[in-house]
Amino acid sequence: MPTTTPTKDRFEAEAMPHMNDLYRTATRVLGERSRAEDVVQEVYLQAWKSFHRFEPGTNCRAWLFKILFHCVNHHRRKWFRFPLLKETEEFLETNLTYEAPIPEHLTDEDILAAMDKMPADFRSVVLLVDVEEFAYKDAAEILGVPIGTVMSRLSRGRKILRELLDGIAQSYGVGRPKEAQS
């Protein structure tokens, strides 16, 4: 019977518990389970190969998510063979206005469908900050963008999601039609 090594035990203890979170996020970002499975396998392969560089006591989950988004970007380039177009980055904090909250009568499927309609850059930030509960700083490191970009994309992503969900809620007869909200 083979004996386990301390590195293997440490990897299993620190990295493996995050597989479901990585898979869930990869599925939401990529929109296809089979591609998400491929990417998560690649994440764990890359993590295992570079685990000797992982510093014990640091945030393994954030480290794995950084690898995940690196792999997602690599696979997108491979799958699509053209660069992803990015919207112009701008800070909206000075132009933010109050938006009424979306009613709570929406299903998980409604929310997931709305997230699927969001542009990928905004969806990634919303997933990391609002769903996976990473701090802005951690999300910035995972995505390899400045923290201001995370804040801007989060603000814009939440607005897009709110607008998409507002339309769904109105189709259920929840909330007021826009013309009645003056």
Q: Tell me where in the chain the CATH 1.10.10.10 domain(s) lie.
A: 93-180
pLDDT for 71 equals 87
CATH code given to domain 93-180: 1.10.10.10
Q: Tell me where in the chain the CATH 1.10.1740.10 domain(s) lie.
A: 6-80
Question: Which class is domain 6-80?
Answer: mainly alpha
Cα separation, 30 vs 46, in Å, equals 19
Q: Is the pLDDT of residue 170 over 70?
A: no
* Structural element, H or E, at residue 44: helix 33-49
Higher pLDDT: 180 or 169? It is 169
Mean pLDDT of the chain, nearest integer: 79
pTM: 0.58
Written as one letter, the residue type at 25 is T
Query: pLDDT for 83-124, tens place per residue?
Result: 444 444 444 444 444 455 555 567 778 788 888 888 988 999
